[in-house]
Structure 1
Amino acid sequence: MADGDSEIGARKLLDREAYRKLLARRDGLATMLLLARAAFHVTLLACANLLFSTGHLVVAVLLLIPHFMAWSFLGWAGVGHELFHRSVFSARWLNLVLFRLFSILTWNNYGYFEVTHPAHHRGTLRDGDLEANPHGRLTVLGTLALLTIDVGALWRRLRILVLNAAGMAPGGEAGKVFAPGSEAFTQLKTGARAVLAGQALVILTCLLFGSPFLALAISLAPFCVTFPNRTLAALQHFNLSADEADGDYASSTRTVVLDPIIGFFYADMHYHLEHHHFPAIPHYNLRGVHEAFRQGGRHRHIEHGYWNGVKMLAREGFFTSRKT
């Protein structure tokens, strides 16, 4: 469902007044949440850099672990996703600027997401949904990489960005969407170049300030200790099926009830059924939608607690001993 269709669905699932209140942007709250994220990362990076400069390498690296775990939540499985929907701040341009900035900081090509994500909402898990199975299944080595440094993901991301920036189109189903000469391909190419330039600027700035440690801590962060982000992203749609009716989402989408701390870093994306029904509602208001859904018994797929969700993924075969 596109953002503009939200009110139609709202009339069926929420009364008009409740929907109007939940739709309201709260710029003060959004700013406070964004500053809290920034303070979290800046504090950890500054302390780790100080420890490294004084010779405490092991302690510095250990201090970076929570920074690594949270950094990937700036991307598309996190607050970057909410910014894409232009629902966090009342100024749409600010949402767009921050979405693209966070995409660059997490090595994600915003030109790709700006094309594929609306299609994902229009037909979740249907043909043409390039996000239908973005997570695949994990081998033992793949799981270990998510718990440490995912060198393979770094190499694949860098290679694809370089190829797209050089004007090479993707293959397979994505090639049909991003055909050479199309507007979508121009977006893909421009986004790839912006990511590479932005990352180069981050690294160069850190080096100019005499801190290769910070350059590594920032640029490698999207590929370090990403297990929580990857599993939460998988929980959204893993092993579910396309909906029979447009705008339903009960068969295709899963909600996970999380504690407030994980929910903060995840930018409330765990209320995923709620988000698919109402993509225009700010993430910090989705709890209100969740309460209405819970009382109405609208959740067909729901997990209570992050670790229960991980155990469900294990039962469903997300973690395998070989590639599938």
Structure 2
Amino acid sequence: MQEVFGRRDLIEPAKLKELAQRDDARGWKQVGSHLGAIAVTGTALWLARDTAWLAVPLFMIHGMLINFLYAGQHELSHSTVFSNRKLNEAFGRAFGFILLYPRDFDQIQHFAHHRYTQDWEKDGELARPPYTFTSYALWVLGPTYWYSRVRRILRFSAGVVSEPYILPKERPRVIREARLHLAGYAVIAALSLWAQSWAAVLLWLAPMVAMKFVHQLQNTIEHLGLPHNDVITQNTRSTRTNAVMRWMCWNMQYHTAHHAFPSVPCYNLSKLHQTIFTDHGRKPPQMTYLGFQAAVLRAFGRGRTEADYPQDRIWISDDTDLEPVAPPPSHRAA
């Protein structure tokens, strides 16, 4: 995951080397603050579980914090949080277990995504049909997201691996990993039944599943509606948002900078963005979370789907003039 999928002419090599340095203190600060926040909201939720007016907002915040652990899992897969690779792996596996998203599989899929960004045939995150309004809504809200995650763990546990980006030599590893996850979940379920406790549901599964849609705002904004080419500064979108969201998402809102140089740690992404874009008067594609979702709703209105839009240019942006690019189906020529 240390390969650089970006253009070297965007930044001086010495500056890139400086920004790519791991800082264990900052890594521990990011990991510790995120896990600490989860511990605080989890404790508060447990204590307030019988007080609805307080439990509901705590449930929502707690669920968001758990889901955004994926930003940490992603960064840990790049081995950029800590200087010690084993430490990155240990936390990455723990986060993957919590999120029902095994770390080895995610790393393989994500590697393919970085190397072949926006390539329908090879990008690990594009192993899906083009979105319709319904399929997009179900993915954002969570039903199909969780179905695919649980089904994959069960399928891998049964020894069935069909993803084309997983090489034959990698299949035993993801099968073993899925079986270990399944065994761990079975132990938690058995202990919960034995203790007659709903703690795992209240403090983990229910808030994580219910609040997935907030994390999906980040997952969907990064590439959808951008050209399917191999130019990082065109095919990857950054996000305009606030400091709290940047902390919770481990600075992945600077996504274009991350895709250009994935060896740079999350805590240096703002400086990387400044160096390769702002300092040179450049801007990557960028939108706000809600602005993006509004544009998607317009794009999929009147029966249109992702397949109705051109693959070689942008079709979701703040520019509302892009909306008529795909006419509604009833207006197309036979």
Q: TM-score range by the shorter chain?
A: 0.7 to 0.9
Alpha-carbon distance in structure 2 between the residues aligned to 1:319 and 1:16: 49
Which secondary structure does the structure 2 equivalent of 1:280 belong to? coil
Aligned to 2:314: none
1:161/1:196 contact within 8 Å kept: yes
The more displaced of 249-258 and 138-147 is 138-147
Structure 2: tracts of 5 or more residues without a match: 308-334
Which secondary structure does the structure 2 equivalent of 1:131 belong to? helix
The yes-or-no answer on 1:316 pairing with 2:316 is no
Choose the corresponding residue for 2:156, options 164, 172, 175: 164
Which secondary structure does the structure 1 equivalent of 2:233 belong to? coil
Aligned to 1:90: 83
Aligned to 2:222: 236
C-alpha distance after superposition, 1:204-262 (max 9, x if no partner): 55666664134442133432222221121111100212335xxx312211111221100
Deviation at 1:71, TM superposition (A): 1.2
The yes-or-no answer on 1:130 pairing with 2:113 is no
Aligned to 1:295: 279
Normalised TM-score (structure 1) = 0.82
Aligned to 1:277: 260
Aligned to 1:32: 29
**Partner amino acid, structure 2, of 1:222:** M
Matches within 5 A, 1:1-324: 3-5=2-4, 9-10=7-8, 12-52=9-49, 55-57=50-52, 59-75=54-70, 78-126=71-119, 127-132=121-126, 137=131, 139=133, 143=137, 150-170=142-162, 174=163, 176-178=164-166, 182-204=168-190, 211-244=197-230, 248-292=231-275, 293-303=277-287, 305-317=288-300
Which secondary structure does the structure 1 equivalent of 2:124 belong to? coil
Deviation at 1:9, TM superposition (A): 3.9
**Partner amino acid, structure 1, of 2:4:** D
1:135/1:230 contact within 8 Å kept: no
1:111/1:189 contact within 8 Å kept: no
C-alpha distance after superposition, 1:127-172 (max 9, x if no partner): 211213669647569748956xx455434432331121011233xx
Change (3 A) 1:131 1:146: closer
**Partner amino acid, structure 1, of 2:112:** A
Deviation at 1:186, TM superposition (A): 1.3
2:67/2:212 contact within 8 Å kept: yes
User: Identity of paired residues, percent?
Assistant: 23
Change (3 A) 1:67 1:128: same
Change (3 A) 1:72 1:91: same
Change (3 A) 1:151 1:274: closer
Count of aligned positions: 305
Alpha-carbon distance in structure 1 between the residues aligned to 2:43 and 2:98: 18
Alpha-carbon distance in structure 2 between the residues aligned to 1:217 and 1:142: 28
Deviation at 1:105, TM superposition (A): 0.5
Higher relative contact order (CA 8 A, sep 6+): 1
Alpha-carbon distance in structure 1 between the residues aligned to 2:274 and 2:144: 40
Which secondary structure does the structure 1 equivalent of 2:97 belong to? helix
Alpha-carbon distance in structure 1 between the residues aligned to 2:207 and 2:28: 23
Aligned-CA RMSD value: 3.0
**Partner amino acid, structure 2, of 1:316:** A
Structure 1: tracts of 5 or more residues without a match: none
1:138/1:319 contact within 8 Å kept: no
1:203/1:219 contact within 8 Å kept: no
The more displaced of 120-129 and 262-271 is 120-129
C-alpha distance after superposition, 1:243-284 (max 9, x if no partner): 35xxx3122111112211001111111111100111010011
Change (3 A) 1:206 1:322: farther
